[in-house]
């Protein structure tokens, strides 16, 4: 049984409508798949977790110049680290307060805030 949950988290700054990759990290974490029951029912667990990772990213790199960001999460294979599938994509604004998405019915694969 494979207990690894490798993901690639990409932080893209959005500048004048263009995306620029600022940082990427590979993490062994299954937080994208666990959460409160209301998150799972509304398919927001991965999006909420990606936002939390962005908040950690911001805390480590204060101050951020770019106001708009895109967080993209990929599931990786265990051996070669290839991107297998996109878990979620979330657009966030630096310095903006996070609002929970309890009524969202967007597909789990892609989400925009």
Q: State yes or no: pLDDT of 81 exceeds 50.
A: yes
pLDDT reported for residue 100: 47
Q: State yes or no: pLDDT of 9 exceeds 90.
A: yes
Query: Global pTM?
Result: 0.71
Pick the more confident residue, 22 or 103.
Answer: 22
Q: State yes or no: pLDDT of 90 exceeds 90.
A: yes
DSSP state at residue 43 = T
Q: Break the chain into its structural domains and give their ranges.
A: 6-93
Strands (E), the chain: 6-15, 18-28, 68-76, 83-93
- Spatial distance between the Cα atoms of 113 and 96, rounded to a whole number of angstroms: 11
């Amino acid at each position: 049984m494979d207990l690894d949950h490798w993901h690639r988290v990409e932080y893209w700054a959005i500048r004048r409508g263009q995306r620029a990759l600022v940082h990427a990290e590979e993490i062994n974490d299954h937080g994208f798949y666990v959460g409160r029951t209301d998150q799972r029912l509304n398919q927001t667990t991965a999006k909420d977790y990606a936002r939390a990772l962005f908040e950690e990213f911001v805390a480590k790199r204060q101050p951020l110049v770019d106001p708009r960001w895109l967080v993209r999460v990929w599931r990786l294979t265990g051996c070669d680290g290839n991107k297998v599938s996109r878990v979620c994509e979330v657009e966030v604004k630096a310095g903006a307060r996070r609002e929970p998405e309890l009524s969202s019915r967007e597909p789990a694969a892609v989400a925009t805030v």
